A = this chain, B = another copy of it.
Amino acid sequence: MKEYCFGIDVGGTSIKCGLFRVNGTLEEKWEIPTDIENQGAAILPDIADTIQAKMQEKKLTREMISGVGIGVPGPVNGEGEIPRAVNLNWGYKHISKEMEELTGLVAKAGNDANVAALGEAWKGGAEGASQVILATLGTGVGGGIIVDGKIVSGAHGAGGEIGHANVEPEEAEFCNCGNQGCLEQMASATGIVRLARKELEGSGQDSLLRRGELSAKSVFDAYKQDDELAGRVVDQFAAYLGRALAIFACVVDPEVILLGGGVSRAGEPLREVVQREYRKAAFPSCKDTPIKLAVLGNDAGIYGAAKLVC
């Protein structure tokens, strides 16, 4: 009986590992450091070692394991290949094939943001939904699209790269991707700070934001205290994000839209203002699509990775 599986979430500094039951119960989680020396040559062998050690510790045989799922920061295609992963110092790698050779277990790989969306759709904020959009609002804006319960990887592993949707054709500053006017420039933690800085420079108005360090958190904290200037910044953020989500909904018409990532810790006030702006622009039959907060936090990746193989 294939009763267990592993979900692995590879980051630039640490690798999160989870041992799951195939029904989605997390039995145990732990971390190992990411060794990016030598073009990251040790990363997959280190994962294989920690899996084998855990199997020994728990007296699990290969026959009891449905497989190993792996989330990786980069454009993984549907076959588990990646052309490069900058944060891991990787060039081309056939992740799933290498992992199968290293462990003798079935292995599958996906992009980390996509895999997180799958985790949230499996056991998180969109549990039970098979059509989901997850927008991850962190340092950048990532995303994952789930259709019929599966990740949309896309032809170049760029499925769910919603942070680079062009939402402002008039934008003069450049995004990290080289384009101008990306959603990431408006709705990431750094994007919100950018919008706030512009607003502070363009206005003489007093604001809580003129005191202390400026961050996405300080903007939402001030917004919650009815700071007017912060309110204008949040309105801009929400208008860009809400309208973008409404456009994405015209494409895949999800059951649920999730907001995750560090910025989403601002919680209900953030969710509400995004939902308000979403409704304005959404196609009539999608106006009531719920916008919810992701709930699995940093564990979304290991959950989704596990789901790849069970």
Residues of A within 8 A of B (CB): 75, 131, 133, 145, 147-148, 150, 152-167, 169, 177-179, 181, 239, 243-244, 246-255, 281-286, 289
Q: Which residues of B contact A156 (CB under 8 A)?
A: 253, 285-286, 289
Residues of B within 8 A of A167 (CB): 247
Determine how close the nearest CB of chain B comes to the CB of A131; give it in whole angstroms.
5
Bound form: Cα–Cα A178–B279 in Å: 12
List residues of chain B with CB within 8 A of the CB of A255: 155
Considering the chains assembled together, what is the distance between the CA atoms of A152 and B179 in angstroms?
28
Q: In the assembled complex, which residues on chain B have CB atoms less than 8 Å from the CB atom of A248?
A: 247, 251
User: Do A148 and B145 form a contact, CB below 8 Å, given A75-B285, A165-B247, A254-B155?
Assistant: no
A155→B253 contact, CB < 8 A: yes
Residues of B within 8 A of A133 (CB): 251
B246 lies within 8 A of A166 (CB): yes
Measured CB to CB, the nearest residue on chain B to A150 is B148
Task: Report the bound CA distance from A152 to B253 in whole Å.
Answer: 8
Q: A155-B289, A179-B282, A247-B248 provided; 13 other pairs, C-beta below 8 A?
A: A152-B251, A152-B253, A157-B253, A158-B286, A159-B252, A161-B253, A161-B285, A163-B250, A165-B246, A165-B247, A169-B239, A179-B284, A248-B251
Q: How far is the CA of A157 from the CA of B131 in the complex (A)?
A: 12
Question: Which one, B152, B179, B243, B251, contacts A162 given CB within 8 A?
Answer: B251
Give the residue of B157, B177, B250, B254 whose beta carbon is less than 8 angstroms from that of A164. Answer: B250
By a CB distance below 8 angstroms, the chain B residues around A289 are 155-156
Q: How far is the CA of A254 from the CA of B251 in the complex (A)?
A: 12
